[in-house]
Amino acid sequence: MKVAFLGLGAIGAPMARHLAPQYTLSVWNRTASRATDFARENNAQAATSPADAVRGAAIAITCLPTSREVESLLDGEDGMLGAVDRGATLVDCTSGDPATSRRIAARLAERGVGFVDAPVSGGVSGAVKGILTIMCGGDEGAMARARPILEAFGEKIVLCGPVGAGHAVKAINQAMLGVHIWSLAEGLVALEKAGVSTATALEVINASSGRSNTSMNLFPERVMTRAFPRTFRLALMDKDVRIAADFAREHGVPSPLLQLVSELLREARRELGEEADHVETAKVLEEWAGVEIGRKA
Ligand code: NDP
């Protein structure tokens, strides 16, 4: 069975790597050298265009920055729409937005092609290990076709509702992550300024009710060590949290915290630039306060 994978970025590449041993895998990437390198190293085929990638594939997976880029790959001579087989399913692992996905799904449906939005959580390390959480939106038939392929890199795979539901859940998850990072950075900066050991504070918080993945893993591994590896761009998290804030607003829900964290992350992105990692947000708080977390032993 042929599977196509489009978008070999930081998380797309390790996801696609799990598919190569199990399927006839065709990969496409905007920067073609990444696809040819991947194909050589993983016994896959490098496609010359999105159309070339999806032709004859039962499942086509996209993993791009936003839904806008996914939509842009549909049209034109090299676009997916003119080449994808009737009966195939497009599985979009982008952290996208529900409204654009509904539009994409409707266009595909006109051609007898299914659609599942299937954004992932678990980071690059989760993708490498093949243990991502995948939150899906779509109908049960499309989901049944997508699930065995998603199992190659996912551990917890949940159908959340109709098309767009996966993206909505992902956006809200990202807003929670944004709140955790921002609030922990503010709190640790205050403790640092007051002369309290932030290593001790983290040890206590991680045995208390305020703990989170951010306090248990991200800050100990990335902030306290000053390693700040670049695995998930702040620019992408800003985009995710904006989707969450817009989603709440579109549904007429009072959401002061979602709106605020979205504004704060936009500011952090402005200050740190397009390539900064999401955890580097802590540096903005450090800069504002004039202290560095983890200085006091
Ligand atoms: P990257 O920025 O590392 O990679 C983006 C990919 O999209 C690259 O393959 C890039 O191609 C391609 N691309 C960018 N613009 C276009 C375009 N206009 N047309 C076609 N292709 C394009 O992103 P990630 O891999 O980190 O993220 C991908 C998605 O997964 C995002 O929605 C992100 O929010 C989500 N995600 C990421 C996680 C992570 O830890 N990194 C965790 C969970 C979700 P090129 O090589 O040419 O630049």
Q: Which of 2, 129, 156, 170 is catalytic?
A: 170
d(Cα 267, Cα 261) in Å, to the nearest integer? 10
Q: What pTM was computed for the model?
A: 0.96
* pLDDT at residue 296, as a whole number: 74
Does residue 147 sit in the same domain as residue 14?
yes
Is 63 a pocket residue for ligand 1 (Cβ < 6 Å)?
Answer: yes
Segment-wise mean pLDDT, segments of 10 residues, the chain, 297 residues: 98 98 98 98 98 98 98 97 98 98 98 98 97 98 98 98 98 98 98 97 98 98 97 97 97 98 98 98 98 87
pLDDT tens digit sequence for 145-173: 999 999 999 999 999 999 999 999 999 99
d(Cα 157, Cα 133) in Å, to the nearest integer? 6
Final residue of a domain: which of 116, 140, 162? 162
Known catalytic residue: 170?
yes
* Residue 184, both tokens: 């922990």
Does residue 156 sit in the same domain as residue 33?
yes
pLDDT tens digit sequence for 184-222: 999 999 999 999 999 999 999 999 999 999 999 999 999
Q: Kindly state whether residue 296 falls inside one of the protein's structural domains.
A: no
d(Cα 78, Cα 61) in Å, to the nearest integer? 16
Final residue of a domain: which of 162, 194, 219? 162
* pLDDT at residue 297, as a whole number: 61
Final residue of a domain: which of 162, 178, 204? 162
d(Cα 111, Cα 82) in Å, to the nearest integer? 9
d(Cα 78, Cα 72) in Å, to the nearest integer? 11
- Which residue's CA lies nearest to atom 41 of ligand 1? 232
Is 62 a pocket residue for ligand 1 (Cβ < 6 Å)?
Answer: no
* pLDDT at residue 139, as a whole number: 97
Number of domains in the chain: 2
Which residue range is the domain that position 61 belongs to?
2-162
